[in-house]
């Protein structure tokens, strides 16, 4: 959880530091990068969610460990991301940083979220 609801706190700073970013800053992509780093992978290492979806990493279907991106028309780009934990029919369960109970892209912590696959714009495989 964030310390003061302003993209701050000890753990959030750790995620951002992993990507050479200072606090406060949005951290959904930095959180995912940190998770992959903790698993022993050198990539991805970015705090910019659109950078998680290069053409060479794109896949069509989610499975555990696949990164997903949510498109925001107002931004004209992927504006939030998470990592797939499981899939049941058309519902994806994932872990997301910088979200909240309502599923915001600027929340107050790291949460397990359930999203319909229609809301997901892209999937990327960083495990291959």
Tens digits of residue pLDDT in 91-112: 999 999 999 999 999 999 999 9
Query: At residue 128, does pLDDT exceed 90?
Result: no
Average of per-residue pLDDT across 3-30? 97
Contact 97, 28 (CB under 8 A): yes
- Only one residue has tokens 């750790």, namely 14
Inter-residue contact 67 to 32 (CB < 8 Å):
yes
Query: How far is Cα 93 from Cα 96, in angstroms, rounded to an integer?
Result: 10
- Taking a C-beta distance cutoff of 8 angstroms, is the pair 102, 121 a contact? no
What is the structure's pLDDT at 19? 98
Query: Could you give all domains of the chain from N- to C-terminal order, each with its CATH number?
Result: 10-124 (3.90.1720)
Rounded Cα distance between 86 and 115, Å, is 11
Residue 8 scores a pLDDT above 90: yes
Residue 32 near residue 21, CB atoms below 8 Å = no
R_g of the chain, CA atoms, integer Å: 13
Residue 35 clears pLDDT 90, i.e. is over it: yes
What does pTM read for this prediction?
Answer: 0.96
Tens digits of residue pLDDT in 36-57: 999 999 999 999 999 999 999 9
């Amino acid at each position: 959880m964030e310390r003061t609801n302003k993209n701050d706190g000890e753990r959030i700073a750790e995620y951002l530091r992993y990507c050479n970013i200072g606090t406060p800053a949005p951290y959904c992509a930095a959180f995912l990068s940190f998770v992959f780093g903790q698993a022993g992978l050198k990539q991805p290492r970015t705090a910019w969610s659109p950078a998680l979806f290069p053409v060479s990493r794109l896949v069509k279907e989610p499975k555990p460990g696949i990164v997903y991106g949510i498109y925001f028309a107002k931004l004209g780009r992927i504006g939030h991301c998470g990592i797939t934990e499981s899939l049941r029919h058309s519902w994806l369960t994932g872990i997301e940083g910088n979200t909240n109970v309502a599923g915001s892209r600027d929340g107050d912590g790291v949460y397990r979220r359930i999203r319909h696959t229609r809301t997901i714009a892209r999937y990327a495989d960083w495990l291959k």
